[in-house]
Amino acid sequence: MPHGASLQYKILIVDDDADLCSMLRVCFKNAGHSVFTAASGREALLAALDSRPDIVICDVVIPDMNGFELCRRLRAQPKTAGVALVLMSGTSQAERDQLEGFSLGADDYVLKPCPPAVLLAKVEAVMRRYAAAAELSEVLKADGIKLDVQARIVTCGGRRVALTRKEFDLLALLLRKRGRVLAPAFLLEAVWGHDLADYNDPHTVTVHLSSLRQKLGTRFGRRIVTVPGSGYRYDPTAA
């Protein structure tokens, strides 16, 4: 499953309204996502089992089986139990309908009419939550370095290393994006959450990375490479 809203998602849209499906397809494809559609519950179930989408967007009122039943069946299948689900409806808008959808495992319940751009934003928000949950369960490993993200424990060559929260987050990001050059501005946004219009001092990054390298020791610290004028990258071959 993609991690981050800037990546491409495989989206299954389930609705018997061909015009709506066409409109959503254009909106989602323009945002860089892969889209396929189904016009009935049975067609959707087969498509989901075969193609393993990242997220299913399903109208509650569809032929063969309603969206609630499709939701229940998708959650019951091991292959699709972890797929994100968004239900939408222009008729089943009562509170009890929405509660039923959430009780069956829907991640969001959207009331029609909903502008395509708003639905896209909701879909990407759901996927960010899935990505965040996946990252929490990660154990990152790279040539002798091991990070248990949930426990926030770091070991280097079997030796436990005590890092501050920001140092840990920096190292985790470098490992997730190993090989890529990360600009100081990107790190300030991703690790510190700074709005660059208000704060854009690369010295903050420099100081923390210097401390991180020191704590990792010479063997592992030198793998965090400075790329002059561009930023930093994790390079396991650096000596």
The full set of domains in the chain, from first to last, is: 10-133 (3.40.50.2300), 164-234 (1.10.10.10)
What integer pLDDT is reported at residue 96 of this predicted model?
80
Average pLDDT over residues 92-108: 80
Determine the 3-state secondary structure of 6 from DSSP: coil
SS3 191: helix
What distances in angstroms separate CA 148 from CA 8, 121, 132, 159, 161, one per listed residue?
Answer: 26, 31, 14, 14, 12
Average pLDDT for 168-178: 87
Report residue 113's pLDDT band, with 50, 70 and 90 as the boundaries.
confident
**Picking from 18-27, 87-96, 144-153, which range would have the lowest pLDDT averaged per residue?**
87-96
**Looking at the predicted structure, is the pLDDT value of residue 108 above 90?**
no
Task: Tell me what the mean pLDDT of segment 134-151 comes to.
Answer: 75
Cis peptide before 228 (omega within 30 of 0): no
- The answer on pLDDT for 2 being more than 50 is no
pLDDT tens, residue by residue, 197-213: 777 788 889 999 999 99
Which amino acid is present at 185?
A
**Longest C-alpha distance within the chain, in Å?**
64
> Is a pLDDT exceeding 60 seen at residue 100?
yes
Q: Which residues are bridge partners to 225 per DSSP?
A: 233
pLDDT of residue 137 exceeding 60, the answer is no
| Structure tokens belonging to residue 149 | 């993200």
What is the rounded radius of gyration, in angstroms, for the C-alpha atoms of the chain?
A: 22
Count CB-CB contacts under 10 A for residue 64. 15
41-51 and 67-76 helices, crossing angle to 10°:
30
- pTM above the 0.75 mark? no
Q: Which of 23-37, 89-103, 181-195 has the highest mean pLDDT?
A: 23-37
Structure tokens that stand for 158 in this block: 């079997």
